[in-house]
Structure 1
Amino acid sequence: MKSKQPNMNLGAALLFVIFSLLFFVLLLRFLFIQVTGEAGGQVLAAKAEQKYKKERIIDASRGSIFDRKGEVIAEDIVGYKLVAILDESLTTNPKKPKHVVNPKTTAKALAKHIDMDEPDIYEILTKEKRYQVEFGRAGRDISNKTKQEIEKLKLPGITFVRDTKRFYPNGIFASHLIGYIEKKEDKNGKIKTAGKLGLENSLEGYLKETDGKISFESDLWGYLLPNGKEKITPPKHGSNVYLTIDKIIQTFLEDSMNKVAEEYKPKKIIGIVADAKTGEILAMGQRPTFHPNSREGIEDSWHNEAVENSYEPGSTMKVFTLAAAIEEGVFNPNETFKSGAYVVGRDRIHDHNRYGWGQISYLEGVQRSSNVAFAKIALEKLGEEAFYDYLLEFGFDRPTGIELPNEVGGKILFNVPIEVVTTSYGQGTAVTPIQQIQAMTAIANDGKMRKPQVLKKIVDPNSGKVMKEVKSEVVSTPISAETAKKVRDILETVVTSPKGTGTLYQIDGYQVAGKTGTAQIPGPDGRYLYGHNQYVYSFLGVAPKDDPKLIMYVAVQEPSHENGVNGAVPVAEVFNSVMKHSLQYLNIEPSEVKKATARSIPNLVDQPVEEAKSLLEESGYEAVVIGEGLTVAEQNPPSKTTLLEGQKVIIKTDGNMIMPDMIGWSLRDVMKVVKLAELKLKITGNGYVIKQNLSPGSFMNKGDEINVKLEEPSKTYGGETEGNDEKAKSKGNDKKAKSEGNDETPESEGNDKKTESENMTQEDS
């Protein structure tokens, strides 16, 4: 027993020494941490703050885009992001899994609701084991409807994160002018948005939002500590942008281009409508175009054709050659010249019909769009130097400065006499459509050339303070008011004279002044394209002629239709429809009002629908059919009623009843449908229909309730108006332009080289 005691004492002493050393080390460590505040090379206060301090993002909204009257064109709305949870550890109850259990079944189900193929979804769900995965662009901006459809499937592990999405409520609507935004993931995994194309891009600095955040101290479970510090950085919403675009006029343009694109299938259409007094752009569109919500069609056209591409304009350029000659006092409309051909050195140019019209006056030369007339005006009357100075005054050498990205300037070829000649009638030299609109403001606005603008003002979304306001700007005065009036008077005869090339552009009740153009298209080898309708047909016009309110430019490239049909017909269909409806919408009184004739309506009951429609239309009435049957069952007004021509007669057939499009209708016409279909009517406002709750083309049944919203047409135009409601669309029945008249197609001879002036002869349709 005694031998054990020394060993136990030694062991106890050894343990005492070891524990003493450990205690001493811990004490030193504690003192070190206390003094330095660091452990393991990290600041403990920072680690504690990181652990207990929470941060949440406060979402900011991108600025909205409105038209001139406050109608929304682009805005942020609530959207959802699709997320798949893959971490199996989240499932605590196998009967209620919280992760994706069956990737194959999940992929098959999701492929029916998002724009991604089943194999690609399956690959995302199985490629690597992560806590959760997303589905890129296909899984972002999910609508509430799609979200609900996916939620009904009750797919384990599939959930949604609330997000915002950019929404364009009007669909295809000035798409290249407005642009779109794109979401991309940065290096840190954060989703960033940026404007692409149009104003979404050029006004990014104003529209862009900055998210805010709130940081606070919390316990382990994330709850706010009683005395915890809280710091809030408020979000900075993007500024709101108001444009000069008018939603109603833009809709007129979009609808008209849709019809022409469908019927004639041209390679391109460009349309611009501008306020003649201010240069404000009221509508701008093109085909092909794209849908800004889905991006469908974007691959067909990345450029805004109105500002980003210059091309040979054709004879619309003659407007400005004529204006220069009148301003210089060298244009005598009664002076005559020999038409047909004109020799410039070793080059020869021809009129579009090759042989001309004999000895004619310069006025007739303008009406017939004679190349020879304008060649002689440019070289013999104006002279190269004076003509070039006017081209600069009209701004064809530089961009206009409109608030759109990537604008290009013109390319004036003016080195040798033949280039002076071809420029006078719009070939060789290239300009943009927006440059032609700007130059035309001088003709329409008493010689004062206005800078075109699409931006009206930028407003702070919180305070309502106007941060930036764009005023109409005179950039040049190339001609006098007297000259401008003379030009308009002459251009009116281009439309009204039987000898004029613009007879297709006559609009009942309104005097139109303008110039046609037919430009040849350079091919990839430098030669001009030849063949039926391988041209750019265009028209540049103003109305009403004496006091222009609107300027409009339309160009249609290579329309496809039967040989022998005038290539300008598609242009006229766009111009006439949009110009007439826009003038009516703006309450511009017609200069000539035809007196309507009153007639007694015939009995249409039991007649075939098509025969009844023809009979009404021949009598000057507008037939509206509500039904899908083939025989007339009832009519309103009834037979023997005296009715002024131009008014509506409602025909009910023996089939299912179909709701008509009543936008722009009077209450009297609405009542005709209500009575005939035995509907219940609810009315809001006074004037003409601007909204209806039952969609056009939908079935309607006896007893259905139809709600219509009415509004008085605008009494004035040019300033701000009260209310944001859409104005009534005019329902004109313009007759389709026919192929008769002066179809002037360029002709040339030689080896088709673009550099040879004989091939630079182009004329109008």
Structure 2
Amino acid sequence: MKENKLNMKRGAAVLFIIFALLFFVLFARFSFIQITGKADGHSLKNEALQKYLRTDTLEAKRGTIYDRNGSVIAEDATSFTIAAILDPEMTTDPDNPQHVVDPEKTAEVLSKYIDMEKEDIEKQLRKEGVFQVEFGRYGRDLSSKVKNQIEEENLPGIIFMRDSKRFYPNGKFASHLIGFTQELEEKKGDSIVKKTVGRMGIEKVYEDYLRGENGKVQYKSDLWGYLLEDKQQMVQDPDNGDHIYLTIDSKIQTFLEDALNEVDKQYNPEKAFAIVADAKTGKILAMGQRPSFHPDTRVGLGENWQNDLVEYSFEPGSTMKIFTIASAIEEGVFDPDETFESGTYKIGDTVIRDHNNGEGWGRITYLEGVQRSSNVAMANLLDKMGPDVFKQYLKDFRFGQKTGIELPNEAKGQILYNWPVEQVTSSFGQGTTVTALQMVQAATAIANDGKMMRPFIVDKVVDDKTNEAIIDQKPEQVGEPISKETAEKAREILETVTSSDVGTGQIYQIQGYEVLGKTGTAQMPDPNGGYLQGSGNYIYSFLGMAPADNPELIVYTAVAKPQLEGEAGSAPVSKIFNSVMRNSLQYLNVQQEEMPTMETVSLEDYEGEKVEKTVEALEKNGVIPVVLGDGKEISEQLPKPDTALLEGEKVLLKTDGEMTMPDMEGWSLRDTIKAADLMGLKLSYSGEGYVVNQNIEQGRKVKEGQKLIVKLVQQKERVLRNDDQTEEEQPGEGQSAEEQEETSEEDEQSEETSEERESQEEQDA
């Protein structure tokens, strides 16, 4: 018994010692943690702080892109994403539900505000075992207005998540120039961070300036994440992106976009692009192309990722003749009055032909050669200069080199100049390739008295905080390939391309302004080698400047493979150039030339008067007398006496002798009908507009009752005919093909009766 008690005491003592040691260890551990604040090498204070310290991101606002007048082109805007909470446990008060309680009603209401069918919304809302659902792209990028409208419906369980969205208020507007942004997700630790990145154009090139840096806010919260009343916050403000001001003028860009839309709709070309530049500074005021895309939705982007004005190099055709002419003037070898034999030029086994199948126009002056866009004229000028000299001019005009504009993937083109035939074809724009931007840069030397200006698109970059310019672009001269005197002479010569009766650019005349420039048509390369064949496989273009005496604007326009229905290739090009140039000059308040006022003349009675005396009197009054017959006295006249005429109108004078046929080319149908009636001829005509052909030759005697057949075409087509030929060059071995003018299909009309002619005359009057 005593032994058992002794054993019990020993056991109790052992247990006491063990528990005492454990307590000592625990006390020592507790004391160590209490004194040092660390456990297993970790700071308990920091661990606790991390557990209750919350961090939220303060998203930086991406910089805004403006035009040169401060109008917004691209900016960050607040958007919202809609979501629906489905978990019933979120509702603690049945009278104030925090989850979707009626999926059918909720779906019906939401279908009015988001582009999603009611059945599809309800299907999402009836999902089981999920906390919340979203509605894909249909529920994203909602505006504040739509969000407020949905909130007014008081739908339980519907919540909104605030987001930032890049917004392009002008829609399809210089899209390849501006570019677009894309939201990417990046994993950082255990969290997913979203960031917006520029993917094209200015948005991509100036990413470092535009993007900004996110800030953050840190605060202590309770166990459930709510901010404590005695909160302490640490805020690191976001560093918003810097703002970019472009040289683009939104008004001029709108003119350009509208013109491109019209041509794209009417002619459905493979490509169409245009660029407008300040002739004195090189500032790009507008640039656009088709196909294009909407930067908000990216619809259409798959058709063409490339900025054609910067990245696409092509053979320019006869617009290159501008720089051949300027080079020849600078070298002193261009004499506008010197003559040459047009038609063909032989180099080795290759024959260079003028665009009218090599027929030419006989022996003509070099000035007329420029006006008619003669390839042979350019080949002769190359001979006079020497190929090495002209190659240096091509380099001086900076062809084959990048312009250095602030846009990605700029092409530099290629001067193809290895063989004699390549040297000749380069003089009229075949073989050698360029970009539209290079053509505009080179044209500034012509417009700006020899000083060639680098094209640029970014005016300045402004710091978001200080509002001071980080980058401030100034016009930069990059060369002086020709002298002031040469530039002036070149402008005078190129103005005649649009104003001369034989000029190929008459269609590009603009009322109130003199235009100088050069048309161009080039065959498009075949991917399998050589060139594509057929009338539609060309790139048609025009490089023009206005006003001619002191150009303010340069506009370069090109249309590739338009679907033409009896029209010339210059038709779609002129629709872009003419409207953009005219509207832009008027918008910039460029003074128009004074137009001569037209005075009226009261017609006297000349019956019985001598022909010579009558002709002299009419010419003195500014009207055009047309004598019908070889008599000495006037027997009848049209219009009748006391009629008021404008200067330049025709007066038909029938004489008492035998009737002779006048030259009716260029006559209106009204004047033709009058002449036929006076001479007693039976008139038949086809087409409409102005006379281009007549079956009775000028000066031939006619008899009453004889049949007169004339062909008429519209004014634009008549202007482009130029001796029944257009400026288009015949495709040939190693040479460009200036576009072939196709006359409209003739709508054969039945012979007009005298009653129909009288009716037509009344309509014309």
Fold shared per TM-score above 0.5? yes
Cα deviation 1:423-443 (Å, max 9, x = unaligned): 111111110000000000000
Equivalent residue runs for 1:428-467 within 5 Å: 428-467=431-470
Contact kept? 1:566, 1:739, Cα under 8 Å: no
The corresponding residue for 1:741 is: 720
Aligned to 1:46: 46
Greater mean deviation of Cα atoms: 204-213 or 323-332: 204-213
Aligned to 2:277: 274
Whether 1:504 aligns to 2:487 is no
Classify 1:293/1:738 alpha carbon distance in 2 versus 1 (closer, same or farther; 3 Å).
farther
Question: In 2, are the aligned partners of 1:85 and 1:100 still within 8 Å (CA)?
Answer: yes
Structure 2: how far apart are the matches of 1:127 and 1:7?
70
Q: Which amino acid aligns with 1:586?
A: L
Partner of 2:595: 593
* Alignment check: 8 A CA contact 1:242 1:457 kept: yes
Confirm or deny that 1:353 pairs with 2:336: no
| Farther-moved stretch of structure 1 (173-182 vs 107-116) | 107-116
State the match for 2:734 in structure 1. 757
Of residues 559, 568, 571, the one that matches 2:570 is 568
Show CA shifts across 1:525-573 (max 9, x none): 123122232211111010001111111011111221313x111111111
Query: Contact conserved, 1:403 with 1:455, CA < 8 A, in 2?
Result: yes
Cα deviation, residue 462, structure 1 = 2.0
Letter in 2 for 1:168: Y
- C-alpha distance 190-340 of structure 1, shift in aligned 2 (>3 A): same
Residue of structure 2 equivalent to 1:518: 521
Deviation for aligned residue 1:499:
0.8
1:11 Cα deviation from its structure 2 partner? 8.7
Tell me: CA distance 1:36–1:347, structure 2 relative to 1, closer, same or farther (3 Å): farther
Q: Which residue identity does 1:582 align to in structure 2?
A: S
- CA deviations on 1:465-519 (whole Å, 9 max, x unpaired) are 1111000010000000111111111111100112111010001110000000111
| Amino acid in the other structure paired with 1:251 | T
Question: Once the two structures are superposed, what CA deviation does each residue of 1:348-381 show, in whole Å capped at 9, x if it has no partner?
Answer: 2211111221221111111111111112212x11
Asked if structure 1 preserves the Cα contact closer than 8 Å seen for 2:197 and 2:207, the reply is yes
The residue matched to 2:187 in structure 1 has which SS?
coil
CA distance 1:62–1:8, shift in 2 (3 Å) = same
Inter-CA distance 231–251: structure 2 relative to 1 (3 Å threshold): same
Alpha-carbon distance between aligned partners in 1 of 2:716 and 2:156, rounded to the nearest angstrom? 61
The yes-or-no answer on 1:252 pairing with 2:255 is yes
Q: Distance in 1 between matches of 2:104 and 2:527?
A: 50
Distance 1:120 1:183 in 2: 26
Distance in 1 of aligned mates of 2:596 and 2:167: 45
Q: Distance in 2 between matches of 1:129 and 1:337?
A: 90
The equivalent position to 2:369 in structure 1, one of 365, 369, 372, is 365
Which letter maps to 2:37? G
* Cα distance per residue 1:384-435 (max 9 Å; x no partner): 1111100111011111011111111121111001111111111111100000
Aligned CA RMSD, in angstroms, stands at 3.3
Cα distance 1:21–1:156, how it changes in 2: closer, same or farther (>3 A)? Answer: farther
SS at match of 1:741: helix
SS across alignment from 1:323: helix
Offset from partner CA, 1:169-195 (integer Å, 9 cap, x none) = 112211111111111111242111011
SS in 2 for 1:238: coil
For residue 720 of structure 2, give the secondary structure of its aligned residue in structure 1.
coil
CA distance 1:279–1:41, shift in 2 (3 Å): same
* Structure 2 letter corresponding to 1:263: Q
Q: Which residue of structure 2 lines up, in the alignment, with residue 419 of structure 1?
A: 422
Deviation at residue 112 of structure 1 after TM alignment: 7.6
- Could you tell me the TM-score, scaled by structure 1's length? 0.74
State which drifts further: 58-67 or 115-124.
Answer: 115-124
Query: 2:138 & 2:234 partners in 1: Cα distance?
Result: 36
> In structure 2, how many angstroms separate the alpha carbons of the residues matched to 1:14 and 1:93?
59
Mapped to 2, the partners of 1:390 and 1:764 lie a distance apart of: 30
Q: Which residue of 1 aligns with 2:24?
A: 24
Distance in 1 between residues matched to 2:127 and 2:599, nearest whole Å: 76
Q: Distance in 1 between matches of 2:219 and 2:560?
A: 62
Distance 2:299 2:261 in 1: 16
Contact 2:272 2:560 (C-alpha < 8 Å) held by counterparts:
yes
Taking the aligned partners of 1:417 and 1:192, their CA distance within structure 2 comes to 56
Percent of aligned pairs with the same amino acid: 53
State the shift of 1:279 in Å: 0.6
1:246-287: per-residue Cα shift (whole Å, max 9, x none)?
A: 111111111111112112222221111111111111111111
Q: Which moved more, 1:513-522 or 1:81-90?
A: 81-90
8 A Cα contact 1:369 1:763, kept in partner: no
Alignment of 1:122-521 (within 5 A): 132=132, 139-148=139-148, 151=151, 157-188=157-188, 189-220=192-223, 222-224=226-228, 226=230, 230-354=233-357, 355-378=359-382, 380-521=383-524
Residue matched to 2:586:
584
1:566 and 1:740 in contact (8 A); partners too: no
Equivalent residue number for residue 633 of structure 1: none
Distance change >3 Å, CA 271–CA 115, structure 1 → 2:
farther
Secondary structure class of the residue paired with 1:190: strand
Greater mean alpha carbon deviation, residues 208-217 or residues 150-159: 150-159
Q: TM-score, structure 2 length as denominator?
A: 0.74
Q: 1:763 to 1:384 in 2, by over 3 A?
A: farther
In 1, Cα distance between equivalents of 2:226 and 2:177: 47
Which sits farther off after the overlay, 508-517 or 525-534? Answer: 525-534
Q: Structure 2: how far apart are the matches of 1:277 and 1:76?
A: 34
**Alignment correspondent of 1:64:** 64
Separation of aligned partners in 2, 1:111 and 1:420: 67
Mapped contact 2:568–2:740 kept (Cα < 8 A): no
**Aligned-partner residue type, residue 744 of structure 1:** E
Pick closer, same or farther for the CA change 1:117–1:535 going to 2, 3 Å: farther
1:107 & 1:526 partners in 2: Cα distance?
59
- Structure 1: which 5+ residue stretches go unaligned? 599-734, 750-755
CA offsets, 1:640-680, max 9 Å, x none?
xxxxxxxxxxxxxxxxxxxxxxxxxxxxxxxxxxxxxxxxx
CA distance in 2, matches of 1:120, 1:395: 60
Q: 1:188-241: per-residue Cα shift (whole Å, max 9, x none)?
A: 421110112111111111111111122234454543564x65433221111111
Determine the structure 1 residue equivalent to 2:664: none
Residue 515 and residue 129 in structure 1: after superposition, are their counterparts in 2 closer, same or farther (change >3 A)? farther
* Pair 1:550-2:553 in alignment: yes
8 A contact 1:447–1:479 mirrored in 2: yes
* Preserved contact between residue 65 and residue 240 of structure 1 (Cα < 8 Å): yes
**Alpha carbons of structure 1 residues 155 and 216: separation in structure 2 relative to 1, 3 Å:** closer
Contact 1:520 1:746 (8 Å CA) reproduced = no
- Note closer, same or farther for the CA distance 1:151–1:522 as it changes in structure 2 (3 Å cut): farther
1:441-480: CA deviations, max 9, x gaps? 0000000000001111111122211111000010000000
| Distance change >3 Å, CA 120–CA 481, structure 1 → 2 | farther
Deviations 1:609-666 (A, max 9, x none): xxxxxxxxxxxxxxxxxxxxxxxxxxxxxxxxxxxxxxxxxxxxxxxxxxxxxxxxxx
Q: How far off is 1:738 after superposition?
A: 5.1
Whichever residue aligns with residue 57 of structure 1, its letter is T
Q: How many angstroms apart in 2 are the aligned matches of 1:37 and 1:367?
A: 94
Aligned length: 619
3-state secondary structure, aligned to 2:579: helix
Separation in 1, partners of 2:31, 2:442 = 83
* Alignment partners' CA distance in 1, 2:21 and 2:267: 96
What is the identity, as a one-letter code, of the residue corresponding to 1:581? N
Determine if contact 2:523/2:731 at 8 Å carries over to the other structure. no
Change (3 A) 1:130 1:14: farther
The equivalent residue for 1:635 is none
CA distance in 2, matches of 1:192, 1:166: 12
In the other structure, the counterpart of 2:611 is none
Q: Distance in 2 between matches of 1:66 and 1:316?
A: 33
Greater CA drift, 111-120 or 194-203? 111-120
Instruction: Show the 5 A alignment for 1:566-715.
Output: 566-593=568-595, 595=597
